[in-house]
Amino acid sequence: MAKLENTVDANLELFPILPSSPAVASGSPSTGTALAGTHLTGIARLAAASSPAGEGHGLEVRSLGVRSILNRSVSRRGLSFTWTINPYRGCEFACRYCYARYTHEFMELPPEDFERRIFIKQNAAWLLEQELRQVRAHEEIALGTATDPYQPVERRAKVTQSLLEVLARQKGLRIGVVTKSTLIERDIPLLQRIAERNTLVLHLTITTPNAALARLLEPRAPRPDLRLRTVARLRQAGLSTGILCSPLLPGITDSGKALDGMAKRAKNAGASFFCAQPLFLKPCSKEIYLGFIREHFPALEPMYRQRFDNAAFVSRAYRNRIEELVKTVCAKYSLGRRKDALLTTAVGDTSGKPSDAQNSSSGRLSFPPSPFTRKGPHSNTTPQPQDLVSCETL
């Protein structure tokens, strides 16, 4: 039975410090010059010409000149949004499973640098103001698909805040925001202004309520209990907010009991909906995640190799099993349910009724907020074996 092998101090910091990064190679983008003997193009050339904008422990921040901030989405997973906005390149949260590491490869940087070299996009608000003319009424805009828009650098850079100020002057848009950060609370007044004239749905990703496990999985992300508190505060502000319990990690967080516990916490926080999807491992994240498994859950490594050595996604039988479990817990706790991480289209519920966002002309919710309650502890202890049993062994 899998066990979490490293004990973690229960007195957790909000943003634990990552190990120091390796020395920067000569000629990398941090030098501000192109690689010697290499003809860089596109985003790699822009990264090579970027300028220093700060640093931290094992972290380098650079200012990146870009030509566009609004990107048309092409999803092989069938996601609904048409446009994406990512205020930064790279993400300090350093999630071991993160699929977005490939975006650093476009800049001729290794996936491991995704959390070590953060690029702040210049003139983002001005660009968005110009590019919103391309967006049609029915098209969705997703903010935070390949980086967390509220990662720590946002506290001082305020790029996301500047983008929200632009969106607050618009009407008739369909906007979804995805984050792990409690910093989103800073922008509640802006988000309320956006929701008055647009459809706005907020998504807080919480992979596990166990703070010790979360610290290992997402080293710099806020603790799970703090994220749950943020869900409650956003709901109290009248904003449509749900929980993405994704990705579900085979053998670690995908049991029926684990899903039930997360759904119960979502209900206590007043979440508008609850969604959970299985892990998938692209080449850019596969070895980093499997290294995490090897270190902390070595007994699970053969199972992961069997599942992911020849495929990035889990089997259809596993997906169907997860979908049924999520359907069951959403019905049990009367939570809105969605099949995937759709942003503003039907949140829905188990009875098939329209979502709250659809019923509201403004995108704000019409039912009263639910106060945050602490029913049961947000565990800071090592996960117990019964919490780590996989729901599916196919």
Please give the DSSP secondary-structure letter assigned to residue 47: H
Instruction: Please give the residue that has the higher pLDDT: either 55 or 69.
Output: 69
pTM (2 decimals)?
0.77
Yes or no: say if 94 and 127 are a contact pair by the CB < 8 Å rule: no
Question: pLDDT digits over 155-185, tens only?
Answer: 999 999 999 999 999 999 999 999 999 999 9
Please name which of 293, 313, 281, 277 lies closest in space to residue 2, comparing C-alpha atoms: 293
Any idea which fold 55-387 has? pyruvate-formate lyase- activating enzyme (3.80.30)
Amino acid 185: pLDDT: 98
* DSSP secondary structure of 253-319: T-SHHHHHHHHHHHHHTT-SEEE--B----HHHHHHHHHHHHHH-GGGHHHHHHHHSS-SS--HHHH
Amino acid 328: pLDDT: 96
Amino acid 161: pLDDT: 98
Residue spans per domain, the chain: 55-387
Q: Given pLDDT bands bounded at 50, 70 and 90, which one contains residue 234?
A: very high
| CA angle, 39 then 42 then 48, to 5° | 65
- The proportion of the chain whose per-residue pLDDT surpasses 70, expressed as a percent, equals 69
**Residue-wise over 12-48: b if at least 16 C-beta within 10 A, else e?**
beebbebeeeeeeeeebbbeeebbeeeebeebbebbb
Amino acid 51: pLDDT: 65
C-alpha 309: how far from chain center: 25
Question: pLDDT digits over 365-385, tens only?
Answer: 322 333 333 333 333 333 333
**Euclidean distance between CA atoms 194 and 394, whole angstroms:** 45
Q: Given pLDDT bands bounded at 50, 70 and 90, which one contains residue 111?
A: confident
118: enclosing H helix or E strand: strand 117-121
Yes or no: say if 222 and 231 are a contact pair by the CB < 8 Å rule: no
Q: Which residues contact 281 (CB under 8 A, 6 or more apart)?
A: 97, 99, 289, 290, 308, 312
Query: Would you say residue 128 has pLDDT above 90?
Result: yes
Query: Would you say residue 264 has pLDDT above 50?
Result: yes
What average pLDDT is seen over the chain? 78
Query: Would you say residue 360 has pLDDT above 80?
Result: no
Per mean pLDDT, which range of 16-20, 200-204, 274-278 is the poorest?
16-20
